[in-house]
Amino acid sequence: MNRSLYSALLYLISPLLMVYLIVRGFKSPDYRRRWGERFGIKRLQQTDLLLHCVSMGETLAAIPLITQIQAAYPNLSITVTTTSPTGSAEVLRAFAGQVQHCYLPFDLAWCSKRFVQQVAPKNCIIMETELWPNLIHYLKHSGAKVLLANARLSQKSADAYHKRPSLNLPMLQSLDAIAAQSEQAAARFIKLGVAEEKITVCGSLKFDLNVEQTRIDAAQVMRGRWQALQRPIWVAGSVHPGEFEIMLQAHQRVLQQYPTALMVLVPRHPEQFDAAVAVVKAAGMLVARRSINDEVTAQTQVVVGDTMGELLTLYAAADQAFVGGTLIENGGHNPLEPAAVGLPVFVGPHHWDFKEITALLQEEGALQIINSSDALAQVLISMFNDKQAYQIASEAGKQVMLQNRGALAKQFALVDLMLKSES
């Protein structure tokens, strides 16, 4: 398949994109709004730099990079795009009034073309591996330079790219530079046909996560408000349908050993907030919703974290964490966030999007891989029982973060080189 066929197929299925937005809109009000942005018909201003994230995780990783770019180039106009409401919320929280922000349009040729013509960036930074053939084509056609930053490429994704070389190879080869997270990712890009001299191994920006003291303080205030300073607390973060019941089964076992234990259940997507509450109630457990500040009493067994942009604070208010998307075939989410605040971390076997990071945390003793509710309950109870083992795992996570910092400086150096070449 080449780009022309790809574009034709997208046009044929374009009515399904409308259906997609309507269905998502029933579940999450945020998907009912800003449709013009999804189809590239919002009026936008020309900008010097376009930076595209995907969702909340990529946006959090990009925020320090954007901040550093702003400090070095205060007169640079920047547009930041995302594809999800959670990512959008993070952009607005961090940069409201400082950058132009919108959703990235669907990769329909006319949508991407109109978007690029309006924004007309001299340079573009795309986070991780959010590559769209039409977007890249029109960026390069307009003369923009494109840097793939914080690039990760799992073997599964590499295999998918390899199946459609006539579509993907021209796109990959048109990138001006790639800042790879790891040697493994770099090798996969090279195997796909990217010139080796375009790739620099920089490490992951996720290791440069800066947890502000204000967030730590807010987390402790939250825990105190919950009257839970002495209660064992664990977070099931970024969990998906198919994992809710598993988390509750694990918590029921934890409650047998620690009757005062509290679980904070945080669904990955806003449209699953109500479903998560319903599942907790169906299990006969007492639940409080974070979004409406339900009172958390001594009898409350589960808090549903149904808010946007608060996951890191919820981690900081807890003692241990499970990171979701890993007991179903999703690929997982970032285990460094709980590790950064000193929590022992647990994930399921399906963590391929964070394979190298997971392996590093596991090797240093900060993370364990589990495959069932029973296994999760066992490790949670074990850590609550063994304060020494808990402390070792907690410190190991913090040390992994400290020892692997530096990706921000390396990736900014590539951005700086790209921006200076325009001046």
Q: What residues act catalytically?
A: 58
In sequence order, the 6+-apart residues with CB closer than 8 A to the CB of 316 are: 211, 215, 216, 218, 219, 220, 341
Query: How big is the chain by its Cα radius of gyration, in Å?
Result: 22
Residues with Cβ within 8 Å of residue 182, at least 6 apart in sequence: 152, 201, 203, 204, 356
Inter-CA distances, 395 with 118, 158, 336, 391, Å: 49, 34, 13, 6
* Tokens at 403, concatenated: 């020892």
Nearest of 350, 348, 390 to residue 370 by alpha carbon: 348
Could you report how far apart the first and last alpha carbons of the chain are, in Å? 38
Residue 369 has which token pair?
A: 């891989």
